[in-house]
Chain A
């Protein structure tokens, strides 16, 4: 679908605004119209396959802070549409659930809830999918450190017998990343800051 089609979409859905995109058509849709718009996409415009549900955390200082992202594919026209929907509440973000429209949304929304803390209103079973249920944080939020935060071990009895805790991982100059080009030795995933190894040797 080319940009020419945005005009026809906006004609029918006046609340849409166009969104910058490097590839497919992308639109901003207010959260309160999201269900209505996606239902129309699915039932009358042929967008029948929900491919991805994710979200963006812009920053704690930015408002709106969270934006939900949806990628929907038309298996008959072979093109995608990307829908972005801002969460109105920055402290307790929420969006309407698409699980009733696309069964694929069920686990995607659980993952986004787990990682970003966005509540999907109307979701049949909104619980964590990757982290364990009692985990107190949402790890893909901007303020969450990659190494993690010390919390109790998932199972209390195992924590007691094994004397184990959930501890921040030692970053040691990490995260480990791979350089884009270079010899095989250079593109091997490694910490960018390896000064800690030298400090270790000096002491």
Chain B
């Protein structure tokens, strides 16, 4: 393990098998490499989401293959598809059932903005009911785009304060600022 060029930050004779680091660094490292997605598949984006789980794109390379259909066992909701007003209630309830800390990825044009469905039935962006961490363009996005978004989410998790959900619950900040602005 140790070579001529290795500089070690600790003295093994003094500290033994101990590495000194920060709590945030360790906790976030654990969190970002074990994201358990909740596939909120609502439309055609869900087909691409399935492709990401399959062998050609293989999301398990990033430690996210554990798709859980129960919100109790998941911490990242991937909203893949068109959110209708009728379904919005369900999306919000499932989000609330997920344990903290939790993240939301708005996959594709519909989940991000309503997409081409500018109609009476479609919620114009899932960020009107849940706080979104990563938005993705595309209709539907390529599987690589979802992988890219998930890696971006990993970076974001890595920069978070790991105990922020204890001090300021995310749900309290969930109300998007612009809801009701454009009446």
Contacts and interface: CB of A to CB of B under 8 A. Distances in A.
Interface of A: 130-132, 137, 139, 144-150, 153-155, 158, 161-172, 174-176, 189
B145 to A, nearest CB: 19
A103 B121 CA distance: 27
B83 to A, nearest CB: 11
Contact of B92 (A150, A158, A168, A176): A158
11 contacts: A132-B85, A139-B121, A144-B120, A158-B88, A158-B89, A158-B92, A166-B85, A167-B183, A168-B120, A169-B118, A169-B124
B116 to A, nearest CB: 5
A163 B176 contact: yes
A202 B96 CA distance: 43
B85 A176 contact: no
B94 to A, nearest CB: 11
Contacts of A168: 120
B91 to A, nearest CB: 9
A162 B129 contact: yes
B129 A164 contact: yes
Contact of A148 (B120, B130, B174): B120
Interface of B is mostly: loop
B119 A154 contact: no
Contacts of B9: none
Contacts of A146: 118-120
B53 to A, nearest CB: 29
A174 B175 CA distance: 28
Contact of B88 (A147, A154, A163): A154
Interface in B110-124: 114, 116-124
Q: Helix, strand, loop or mixed for chain A's interface?
A: loop
Interface of B: 85-86, 88-89, 92-93, 96, 114, 116-124, 128-130, 171, 174-176, 179-180, 182-183
Contacts of B183: 150, 165, 167
Nearest to A176: B116
B93 A165 contact: no
Given A162-B129, A162-B179, A163-B176, A170 B88 contact: no
B86 A167 contact: no
Given A153-B88, A169-B120, 14 more contacts: A131-B86, A153-B85, A153-B89, A154-B88, A154-B89, A158-B89, A158-B129, A162-B176, A163-B175, A167-B124, A167-B180, A167-B182, A169-B124, A176-B116
Contacts of A169: 114, 117-120, 122, 124
A163 B180 contact: yes
Contacts of B85: 132, 153-154, 166
Contacts of A158: 88-89, 92-93, 129
Nearest to B117: A169
Query: When A and B form their complex, which 4 residue pairs have the shortest distance between CB atoms, in order from nearest?
Result: A148-B120, A163-B175, A169-B118, A155-B89
